[in-house]
Structure 1
Amino acid sequence: YARLKERIQGSAFPSPEEFLRFVVARLLEANASPGEPLSAEDERRIAERLRALGYLD
């Protein structure tokens, strides 16, 4: 978390959480089937897992 916080300093991302949301969304978009958007439940599970791993507060 601390390394990520240092890495995003001076960027457009206000927090490590916002950066991770952006990265995860891009990865999911790249791997999703066309016409298959990410559900709210999927987003909730991803955020929960990232929180458990210490990436989100």
Structure 2
Amino acid sequence: MSTELKWFKSSYSGGDGDACVEIATGQGTVHVRDSKVQDGPVLDLAPASWAQLTGWVSK
């Protein structure tokens, strides 16, 4: 069974909202993609890895 992902952007995105990353969650995975290239590659991370990445980036 295939489930369509629901992608969203941060409220901190720029005014036009096209210069950021989008994320979607599903089945124990955080999916990350470039908002400008929605049909491009997707980075799949475990939730713990996503938490580590966002913690590191926010420093």
Question: Is this a same-fold pair by TM over 0.5?
Answer: no
TM (norm. structure 1) is 0.37
Q: Which has the higher helix share?
A: 1
Higher-strand-fraction structure? 2
Which protein, 1 or 2, shows the higher relative CO under an 8 Å CA cutoff with sep ≥ 6?
1
TM (normalized to structure 2)? 0.36
